[in-house]
Structures are given as structure tokens and as C-alpha cells.
Amino acid sequence: MVKNETLAGWLQEHIDMLGHPPEDPPDSGFYAALYEGIINILRQGEAGLLDSLLTTAATQAAGSNRSLSNLLAIPTNLRRRIWDRIVDEIDPEPAFAMLSDLDLLFEHVRQIITDRYLEARQFAPIDNPAELARLQSESEQKVMEYAAEVARTNRELARLEKAKTNFISIAAHELKTPLTLIQGYVNMLLDMKIDSDIESFITGIRRGSLRMGQILENMLDLSAIDTNQVKLVMSAVNLDALFSMIIDQQQSALQERGQSLHTIGLNSLPWLEADQTRLHQIFTHLINNAIKYTPDDGKILVQGERLPATKTRPESIRIKIKDTGVGIAPEERDTIFERFHRTGSARLHSTGATKFMGAGPGLGLAIVKGMVEAHGGRVWADSPGFDTQNCPGSTFNVILPINLNASKPAKIKRLKKLSV
């Protein structure tokens, strides 16, 4: 469908002038809703909301014996007003592109209205009392007002989402510079001969700054995911070796919590064409998540298997990370992958990266989802439910194609093509 952010922005700027009819108050609701629907489709490239609006208007018009030509006059007049204004204000070259998309869009509007009107006329009642016509007119007006409000709300949500993404990116970049200075001075102090008590304080500052640095890096990764700027450096990756490295790095946390971690089937997996650094990031987040939400003395299992190609999926590998933790409520199985999400009540969380249900910014699983999808894969969670007493556990599933099949725009650099 037509998508033109420039034209959408121009229409938004002229909404006070063009978004309301100069006359014909009975059709003001349809007119305003149509204008909002056009802006929405130009921004989102999706016609569902606009088509629903047009279907409602056409059905109501057919039911009240309004002529099709009379109904089509509304989008025709709106197109003419927009067209004339663009010609007056915009230079010829950009105006041509805007007007071309405008004509395609209004042709779609006219076609939907005509088709739905003719369909509705086949089932319209022969008798049409005045009271029925009045009720239909009132219903139409309310639907149009609602559609216009939905379109405005959707645009505002999109604006807020963009503002949030920009804030995350700017905040992370701006905080990174002073944090680097702090870490540099802390390292210089640790190299000096200082009192042991003071050294312990400085070590605490260093530990805190490193933790803050990890959070900032996560924020920058999340910003790259949101703006489709993920950079992948592709090479052949041995998952068995990768998990051995990750598990070694997590040994202190596992020992602190008294947990056991075992692997099955990783040594029989084929080499994968992927970004090894990003895969390390993905599975470190998932294993750290399993440690955090599994009670002391719990068990974690990492299982791998090769999946044959199907009509909808290339040859792939699946990694399952199972734990005996608190589990996930059914309504949260999808939302856990959203930014800043935490499982369970915030008041139950302790502090620390590896403490049981330790607090965190809620960025890890959002990054996991974004990086997996950048590789053309998918990730989801299974769990019987959330229970801090009985601990039903959860399973995180990651499917990755053996050869790259990115489903989202990503900047890709290959070190060496994988031969399978």
C-alpha cells in the first residue's frame, strides 16, 4: 500500500485547514475521519483502518438510500482541495511524487467505497423508514468520530515510541563519555600504592561503573535494533565451543547459587553462519536470565538439535534453555521480550545481577529478540505458569538458520562464507 512520510507530514501540518470540510456539516465526521485515515495509511503503509472506515460509510449510505455519486463526492472534494494546495505550495518535482501517491490512494478509496456500496445494496431493505435512516446517520457519525480518534491516537503512540527510542540512544551516548572518564581514573587509582581500606572503596566504584557500562551498552544495542541499524559480522560459528566459553564465564555465578548447568546435543550441531559476538550476547543473556530466576540449587539444561528445512523455514538449529525457576505467567510469555519488562511483582525483586530474581533494567530479553530476528531466526518462551513457591520452570527456544536469512534490515559483513 502507499506509504509516504513526506506527504503524511505535510497533511498533518495542514490538518486545521484541510482536515475539516468548509461546508456540509452532516458529512463532517466522515470527512475528518477520512483525512485522519489517509494520514495514518501514509505513515503506516497499512490500509486496515481506512478500509474499515470506508466500508462503514458505504454500508450506511446504502442502507439509507443515499446515492453512490453523492457519497463519492466527499473523497473527490477532499482530493481536489489537497491537490490544489500542494500545487500552490510545493515545488514541481516533489509535488509530482506527492500527487502521484495521492492519486493512487484516492483511487483505492473510491474503489473500496464503490465495491462495498454495491455489495450492501444487494441486501438493503426495500422499505426504509425515516427513523431507520436517522439512526443509521447517527451511528455513522459516531463511527467516523471514533475512527478519526483512533487514527490520531495511533499517530501519537508512534510519535511517543520514536521519542522514547531517541531518548534511549541520546542518554546512552551522553552518559558513556563521563563514565569512561570515571573508569579511567579508577583504574589509575588502583595502580597506585594506596591504603587497603581505600582500595576496597575504589574497587566498589569500579564494579559499579562496569555494571553501568554494561547497561549503557545494552541501551545502545536496543537503539540499534529499534532503528534497524544492527551490524552483523558473519563467520562460521561452533555453538558447542561458544557455549563452553559462556558456561565458563558463568561458573562463579553458578557456584554462588549452587546451581548445576548441563548441555545435550551441542557437539553434534553443524557450524552456523552468524555473528559470533551477537550469539555470545544472546545466549549469555538467556543463561544469565535462567540463573537469576532459578532458586538456589536449581538446574539448568541447554539442549541443541538440527531442524530440517520446511516450506516456511530453511535448515536450522534449535537451542532450548530449560530451568527449574519461577516460570512465566501465560499473559507475559510475549511481553517479557518488551523493553523494561520484569516478571512478577517489582517489590519481590532483590538487587544484583545474579541474585534470585535480581533487579535489572529489563533490556536483556528485548535485545535477545532483536538480535535473533536480525539473524533471521525467532525466539519464544514456554512455561506452565509463574509460581515462586513450586517453581514450574520455563524453556526458552531459539531457532536460527544455518545460513543467514535475515528478516530485518541489518548491516552485514561476511568474514568467510559458510559451506554446509
In the chain, how many domains are there?
A: 3
pLDDT tens across 70-109, in order?
Answer: 888 888 988 888 988 888 888 877 788 888 888 888 888 8
CB atoms within 10 A of CB 185: 13
Judge whether 156 lies within some domain.
Answer: yes
The pLDDT, as a whole number, for residue 414 is: 60
Query: For residue 43, which amino acid is it?
Result: R
Domain boundary, last residue among 123, 140, 161: 161
Phi, psi of 299 (to 5 degrees): -125, 145
Judge whether 187 lies within some domain.
Answer: yes
| Range(s) of the domain holding residue 240 | 231-414
Same domain, 247 and 382: yes
Domain boundary, last residue among 225, 257, 274: 225
Judge whether 121 lies within some domain.
Answer: yes
Q: Give residues with Cβ within 8 angstroms of 322, minimum separation 6.
A: 300, 301, 302, 303, 393, 394, 395
Same domain, 153 and 173: no
Judge whether 420 lies within some domain.
Answer: no
pLDDT tens across 194-211, in order?
Answer: 777 788 888 888 888 887
Which range has the worst mean pLDDT, 281-290, 299-308, 401-410?
401-410
User: Average of pLDDT values for 227-251?
Assistant: 90
Q: Does residue 218 carry a pLDDT above 80?
A: no
Q: How many CA atoms lie within 13 A of 200 on its CB side?
A: 2
User: Average of pLDDT values for 407-413?
Assistant: 56
Same domain, 147 and 179: no
Same domain, 216 and 194: yes
Judge whether 71 lies within some domain.
Answer: yes
Same domain, 95 and 21: yes
Judge whether 419 lies within some domain.
Answer: no
Judge whether 180 lies within some domain.
Answer: yes
pLDDT tens across 375-395, in order?
Answer: 899 999 999 999 988 999 999
Same domain, 114 and 177: no
User: Average of pLDDT values for 135-161?
Assistant: 63
pTM: 0.56
pLDDT tens across 53-66, in order?
Answer: 888 888 888 877 88
Same domain, 262 and 352: yes
In terms of Cβ atoms closer than 10 Å to its own Cβ (0-12, 13-18, 19+), residue 366 is buried
